[in-house]
Structure 1
Amino acid sequence: IAPGVNSSVFGSDAIAHNEQATYQLIEERFQRDISESRRNLPAILASSRLDPKKNLLGLVQAFANDVIVQQKANVVLITGGLDNPLQEKVQDQQTEKLVIGPIREVVREKNLWGKISAFSVPDQPALAASYRYFAQRGSVFTLTSLFEPFGLAPLEAAAAGLPIVVTKNSGISESLKVGDEDYGMLVDPNDPADIARGIREILCDQHLWQRLHKRCQQYVLEYYTWDSTAFNYLSRIKQIVSEPSANPAAELLPIHSYFRDPQPENDISLEELSDWYFA
């Protein structure tokens, strides 16, 4: 059962307690990081843990190697707890060495200063407000992880109105194509050129941006909210309760008396447990 999005927080009509303060924060960070002539461009947005597996480096490389993408948008990295990591050395050595350091090197080598911004926002409502801010400016959300079991962040971004560009190596990838309907752009995270292609196709086609913006938002709000997740869990529980014979575990895995009454006389060794359940 898929996790759900809190639509009261991430919905495009929601208003966070710090909505305007978040908008002001973004504009201040743009004044700090983005060239004045580029501040009204859309954003290529990413928000994730600073983990090598999240492949933020691949996203920046894709941007660095595609002139058209650079002309169309800036890169914005929302980095939890780090307000200026591209200009200031990160205290955590692993994060500095494996994530921020390599990104900073690409920015230097390709002279991307003025085209990329990295900063933190204070809480989840501010993150949702950030998504709404960038959706209003024709931006895209990206998740370019090398592998992602499911990936709730793109669904939250989509609920706020952002078209999404997502790694094909994720549990969510199967959900983004139903029959002939596409709800997002899938890319190969190991290929910066393919990441750039997915971003470029959306940014260069206003009709496609509008279609994915509306289609994916409606899809998420219909199938991936907290209400839909709760409904699916409840349906499954009712099925198990009403059809105990349909649950093989009830027949194959008896409960030892120790787990019903953990007294010394009912004690069981690890070897006995292994024989009990795995023999």
Structure 2
Amino acid sequence: MKVLMLGWELPPHNSGGLGVACYHLCKSLAKKDIDIEFVLPYDSAEDHEFMKVTAAMPYGVKTILKAGIAYDSYKYVYKDGKIEWHDIYSQQAGYEAAVDALSDETDFDIVHAHDWLTFRAAMRLKVKRDVPIVLHVHSVERDRAGGNAGNPMVREIEEMAFHMADHIIAVSGHTKKMIHQDYNIPLENIEVVHNSLEASTIEPLDQDNTYRYLESLRGQGYRIVTNIGRLTIQKGLPNLLRAAQLVVQQRPKTMFLIVGSGEQYVELIELAAELGIGKNVIFTGFLRGKAWRDAFAISDLFVMPSVSEPFGLTPLEAAGYGTPSMVSKTSGVSEILYHALKVDYWDVDEMANQILAVVNNDPLRDQLTEGAQTEVFKMSWSKAADRIFDIYDHHLRRKAVAV
């Protein structure tokens, strides 16, 4: 079975959880003897022995640099030194054309496309090659717009694709409900396949933590509350800072570590200053590797206050590094992680109360951590891969009967 997988990112060139999910899902699918060709919009030097990675980019381009977060512009650097800028829509059109050209040179049985940026390419292949298309929805436009209507062009692409799809996979029941509400897709046409975590991906920590300053503060009785993710309207960080103000008023020895970048970066720094908690909030910018892992390890509580979070891998990763979580009720991960505090993203008072409950109560923190780790270390991407293999098999059998 040959699958043409369409995606916008893979580690280490990823801005969030979508690329991580794609990577581990493909790795598990490959163990089922599925031949995968993954088409990226850029040239990746990373070698993935379990699948072929193909670049959908103009010939001669050496590097693509990303600017911004929500609707990125791309800087193309050609081998001859020429530089061009392309917005996300021209980049998407180029990706669609490249996938179309690739389809003339390769055979495949099914197309599996991840999120709206790849949906137009998938629709073109369905019409051109009469192959089943599976759409994997990691977010919808209302998620990315923080509960608002969002970009009408993106909504149009999503709506058309959902009505053309042979199968729709949602990463959570929360996302399934939004697809149904926003695009009038029958619930029975949408299948939930939750994301997961492989315990083997939790890298061991060394004793030398990146955050020595925070370690010294902990020795003075401080507690550390952390958020790791993109700083966008979807993530609900202004409410976390307002809750932080209430926490600091009651427990001044509490620090908030905000790890990530995004269009709200400056706005959030200014808000922390306006709230009078600037000395209690540290903004690190975007981090990878050891500094990213150590941010989990130094923390007493990880908080994900998202307005709308289709899934949210970071609470699972936090558990892997021994840190309990508080997550918004409008998150997919809340459907499968039971040992976590859960709060309405808009309820600043309750958010502050739950944070204080953990930082002032070590037995509660330990109980949440132990329970979450027990859950996480039983998880595996193989269950998701089993279900998706069955989806592929169903549609290929159905097509064979039709022929």
With the shorter chain as reference, the TM-score category is 0.5 to 0.7
Q: Which whole-Å CA distance do the structure 1 matches of 2:377 and 2:302 have between them?
A: 17
* Pairing 1:15–2:15 present: no
2:195 is the counterpart of 1:3: yes
Judging changes above 3 Å, is the alpha-carbon distance between structure 1 residues 70 and 100 closer, same or farther for their aligned structure 2 residues? farther
Match of 1:229 among 362, 375, 381: 381
1:60 aligns with 2:221: no
Is the radius of gyration larger for structure 1 or structure 2?
1
Shift of the alpha carbon at 1:130? 2.5
SS of the residue aligned with 1:44? strand
Equivalent residue for 1:27, pick from 201, 212, 221: 212
Match of 2:277 in 1: 112
**What is the DSSP-based 3-state SS (H/G/I as helix, E as strand, rest coil) of the residue aligned with 2:269?**
helix
1:184 is aligned to 2:376: no
Query: What is the aligned partner in structure 2 of residue 201 from structure 1?
Result: 357
Give the unaligned 5+ runs of structure 2.
1-192
Unaligned runs of 5+ in 1: 81-91, 178-182, 258-279
Q: CA deviation at 1:145?
A: 0.5
Q: CA deviation at 1:173?
A: 1.4
**Gap change, CA 1:74 and 1:9, over 3 Å in 2:** same
Give the counterpart of 1:48 among 226, 229, 237.
229
Give distance in 2, aligned partners of 1:147 and 1:174: 14
Matched, 1:152 2:317: no
Conservation of the 8 A alpha-carbon contact between 2:195 and 2:384: no
CA displacement at 1:161 relative to structure 2 = 0.6
Q: Give 1:204 shift.
A: 2.1
Q: How does 1:198-277 map to 2 (within 5 A)?
A: 198-223=354-379, 228-234=380-386, 237=389, 247=394, 250-251=397-398
Report the equivalent of 1:260: none
1:9·1:128 contact (CA, 8 Å) conserved in 2? no
Matched, 1:164 2:325: yes
TM-superposition CA deviations, 1:116-170 (whole Å, max 9, x none)? 1111464234312321233xxxx10010000101110110011111010001001
SS in 1 for 2:327: strand
Q: Distance in 1 between matches of 2:290 and 2:195?
A: 18
Question: Higher relative CO (CA 8 A, sep ≥ 6), structure 1 or 2?
Answer: 1
Kept in 1, the 8 Å contact 2:226–2:295? The answer is: no
1:61 aligned counterpart, secondary structure: helix
Contact 1:76 1:116 in 2 (8 A): yes
Distance 1:77 1:60, change over 3 A: same
TM-score, structure 1 normalization: 0.65
Task: Provide the secondary structure at the position in 1 that maps to 2:194.
Answer: coil
Cα distance change, pair 175–6 in 1 and its aligned pair in 2 (3 A)? closer
Task: Report the Cα distance in structure 1 between the residues aligned to 2:284 and 2:388, rounded to whole angstroms.
Answer: 41
Cα distance change on mapping 1:250 and 1:103 into 2, 3 Å: same
Q: Does 1:123 align with 2:288?
A: yes
* TM-score using structure 2 length: 0.46
Cα distance, 1:40–1:8 mapped onto 2, change above 3 Å: farther
Q: Secondary structure at the match of 1:176?
A: coil
- Larger helix fraction of residues: 1
Instruction: Say if 2:305 and 2:328, in contact at 8 Å, map to a contact too.
Output: yes
Q: Alpha-carbon deviations, 1:68-112, whole Å to 9, x = none?
A: 5543521100124xxxxxxxxxxx8xx2xxx23432333222321
CA–CA separation in structure 2 for the residues paired with 1:236 and 1:101: 41
Identity of aligned residues (%): 21
Deviation at 1:198, TM superposition (A): 1.9
User: Aligned with 2:308: secondary structure?
Assistant: coil
| In 2: Cα distance, 1:163 partner to 1:15 partner | 17
Cα distance change on mapping 1:69 and 1:166 into 2, 3 Å = farther
Pairwise CA distance, 1:39: 6.3
**Contact 1:47–1:77 under 8 Å retained in 2:** yes
Q: Structure 1 residue 56: deviation in Å?
A: 1.1
Kindly indicate whether residue 252 of structure 2 is the aligned counterpart of residue 71 of structure 1. yes
